[in-house]
Amino acid sequence: MIDLYTWQTPNGEKPVVMLEECGLDYRLQMIDLSSGEQKTPEFLAINPNGKIPALVETIGGVPHAVFESGAILVYLAEKTGKFLPASGPARYDTLSWTFFQVGGIGPMLGQWHHFDAAAPEKIPYAIERYRKESLRLLGVLDDRLKGRDFLAGDYSIADIIHFGWVRAGLSGLKNDSAAELTSLAAWVERVGSRPAAKRAIEKLDQAKRAKTG
Task: Identify whether residues 65 and 140 lie together within a single domain.
Answer: no
Domain carrying residue 77: 2-82+196-212
- β-bridge mates for residue 64, sequence order: 57
Task: Identify whether residues 21 and 32 lie together within a single domain.
Answer: yes
Q: Is the pLDDT of residue 175 over 90?
A: no
181 pLDDT tier (thresholds 50, 70, 90)? very high
By mean pLDDT, which of 81-85, 162-166, 171-175 is the weakest?
171-175
Average pLDDT, the chain: 96
Radius of gyration of the chain (CA): 17
Q: Which of 67, 52, 48, 56 is nearest to 27 (CA)?
A: 56
Q: What is the pLDDT of residues 120-167, one digit of tens each?
A: 999 999 999 999 999 999 999 999 999 999 999 999 999 999 999 999
200 pLDDT tier (thresholds 50, 70, 90)? very high
How many separate domains does the chain show? 2
| Angstrom distance (rounded) from CA 127 to CA 161 | 24
The CATH code of the domain that includes 63 is 3.40.30.10
Task: Identify whether residues 56 and 105 lie together within a single domain.
Answer: no
Task: Identify whether residues 63 and 14 lie together within a single domain.
Answer: yes
Q: Is the pLDDT of residue 188 over 90?
A: yes
Task: Identify whether residues 58 and 124 lie together within a single domain.
Answer: no
4 pLDDT tier (thresholds 50, 70, 90)? very high
Task: Identify whether residues 15 and 76 lie together within a single domain.
Answer: yes
pLDDT > 90 in the chain, percent: 96
Residue 35: phi and psi, rounded to 5, are: -100, 5
Q: Please tell me whether residue 36 adopts helix, strand or coil conformation.
A: coil
pLDDT of residue 176: 80
Task: Identify whether residues 8 and 102 lie together within a single domain.
Answer: no
The CATH code of the domain that includes 93 is 1.20.1050.10
pLDDT of residue 205: 95
Task: Identify whether residues 73 and 155 lie together within a single domain.
Answer: no
Task: Identify whether residues 100 and 133 lie together within a single domain.
Answer: yes
70 pLDDT tier (thresholds 50, 70, 90)? very high
67 pLDDT tier (thresholds 50, 70, 90)? very high
Task: Identify whether residues 182 and 95 lie together within a single domain.
Answer: yes
Task: Identify whether residues 181 and 121 lie together within a single domain.
Answer: yes
Q: Residue 60 CA to chain centroid, in angstroms?
A: 29
Strand order through the sheet with 2-6: 26-30, 2-6, 54-59, 62-67
